[in-house]
Amino acid sequence: MKEKLEQLRSQVLESLDKLSDKKELDELRVRVMGKKGQLTELLRGMGALPPEERPKAGQLVNSLRVELEAKFDEIEARMEEQLKNSRLAEETLDITMPGKRRKLGGLHPLNSVLEELIDIFRPMGFDVVDGPEIETEYYIFEALNVPKDHPARDEQDTFYLTDDILLRTQTSAAQIRVMEHLKPPIRIISPGRVYRADEVDATHSPVFHQVEGLVGDKGITMCDLKGVLEQFAHEMYGPETKVRFRPSFFPFTEPSVEVDVSCGECGGKGCRVCKGSGWIEILGAGMVHPNVLSVCGIDPEEYSGFAFGIGLDRLTTTRHKISDIRLLFENDRRFLEQFSR
Ligand code: DAH
């Protein structure tokens, strides 16, 4: 019996030395200590011994069991430790490595210039309002005093959806929608997309952007118009910028003006950007026509107002010295990334 135990002992110790992983260790443990394991078999075999030898043999088996169990536990602990260490080594973070820079999105140049514009008008008391891109003839033409035979109504210039419904060709419809609901004092700007059947080239696009402005109150004069728009031009283009008001015509304003700023590229001397004139046109404006006030239920004898329509695309291309309006609509990231702040 003693020899058998000795034999088993050295055999198990030898196998333990050769183990390569925990699975093998578990298998060996079952093979030796399990219910049908070698050690258990030996214990059973004790029945064949003479009774006086049994206690002694029992002791020997037990002490071997205790010894082997301790050995198994020790090796298992060592294996787990090794596993943990190698996992830790694999997962080590080198916190001195430089971080990965993630690309952040940025505002489209049209939107960042629009934000600048809003930041100029808001402190002057203007609210920002929205208007529909699909409009009726009434709001785009009729109520804005545009006569039936006016060339702006031409199908060649306007995208009609039905006889009466169209894609707005100007944000000026916002004036009517506002005055129908608000009574003076009124101070709003209304930015948005507009549509015209234009061929695409460096300065034209069938979709472009305008910002409409409207002020209405008692005693509003051309001086207010000039003051507000000059202030806007100086804040947008810098205080050294010259501003010029040219007489013009729009059906919904009387008198009407177009407003130019001195060319930022050449300082007014004349260059490619301003086509040699030294000036860049940025908006149309005027005193709201009495007919337009009346249509909205505002008495032109009591109230007056001025309105303006700014070309946001032109504002953006001149502000950022962009040579071709198409760049604003192509969404080429190499272009857009230059403006992300
Ligand atoms: N709606 C005009 C256009 O599309 C621009 C404009 C001119 C708007 C004069 C106005 C204005 O409000 O008073 O060309």
Beta strands 304-311 and 207-217 are antiparallel
Answer whether 250 contacts ligand 1 (Cβ < 6 A): yes
Burial of 306-333, coded b for 16+ CB within 10 Å and e otherwise, reads bbbbbbbbbbbbbbeebeebebbeeeee
Nearest Cα neighbor of 305 from 180, 213, 192, 191 is 213
Report how far apart, in Å, the C-alpha atoms of 296 and of each of 145, 221, 224 are: 12, 20, 22
Give the nearest ligand 1 atom to 286 CA: 13
CA angle 320, 321, 326 (to 5 degrees): 90
Residue of minimum CA distance from atom 5 in ligand 1 = 309
DSSP 73-98: HHHHHHHHHHHHHHHHHHT---TTSP
pLDDT of 84-109, one tens digit each? 999 998 888 888 989 888 888 889 99
Sheet of 207-217: strands edge to edge?
A: 127-128, 186-195, 207-217, 304-311, 279-288, 253-262, 243-250
Angle value at C-alpha 253, between 311 and 307, nearest 5 degrees: 50
Q: What pLDDT shows up at residue 321?
A: 87
Task: Tally Cβ neighbours within 10 Å of residue 120.
Answer: 18
- Closest-CA residue, ligand 1 atom 7, reads 284
CA 277 distance to own-chain centroid: 39
* Token pair 């948005």: residue: 192
Distance (Å) from CA 252 to ligand 1 centroid: 8
Question: What pLDDT sits at residue 260?
Answer: 96
Among candidates 197, 138, 134, which has minimal Cα distance to 168?
Answer: 134
Atom of ligand 1 nearest to the CA of 284: 7
Q: Which amino acid is at 311?
A: G
pLDDT of 101 = 86
Question: Residue 128: CB partners within 8 Å, gap ≥ 6?
Answer: 118, 122, 188, 189, 190, 191
In the numeric block, the tokens 């198990």 are attached to 12
Kindly list the distances between the CA atom of residue 273 and the CA atoms of 3, 161, 263, 269, in Å, as whole numbers in the listed order. 107, 36, 8, 11
- Structure pTM? 0.73
pLDDT of residue 293: 97
Sign of CA dihedral 147, 151, 152, 156: positive
In terms of DSSP H, where are the helices of 91-161?
A: 109-121, 137-140
| pLDDT for 68 | 87
CA pair distance 14, 71, nearest whole angstrom: 12
CB 150 within 8 A of CB 144: no
The response to whether residue 286 sits with its C-beta less than 6 Å from ligand 1 reads: yes
What is the length of the chain? 341
Could you tell which of 144, 146, 172 is best to mutate to test the pocket of ligand 1, judged by most ligand atoms within 8 Å of the CB? Answer: 172
> Which residue, 209, 151, 163, is CA-closest to 325?
209
Whole-angstrom distance, CA of residue 211 vs CA of residue 310: 5
Question: Which residues, given as ranges, of the chain have pLDDT below 50?
Answer: none
Residue 304 backbone dihedrals phi, psi, to 5 degrees: -140, 170
Task: Output the furthest CA–CA distance in the chain (Å, rounded).
Answer: 133
Nearest atom in ligand 1 to 212's CA = 12
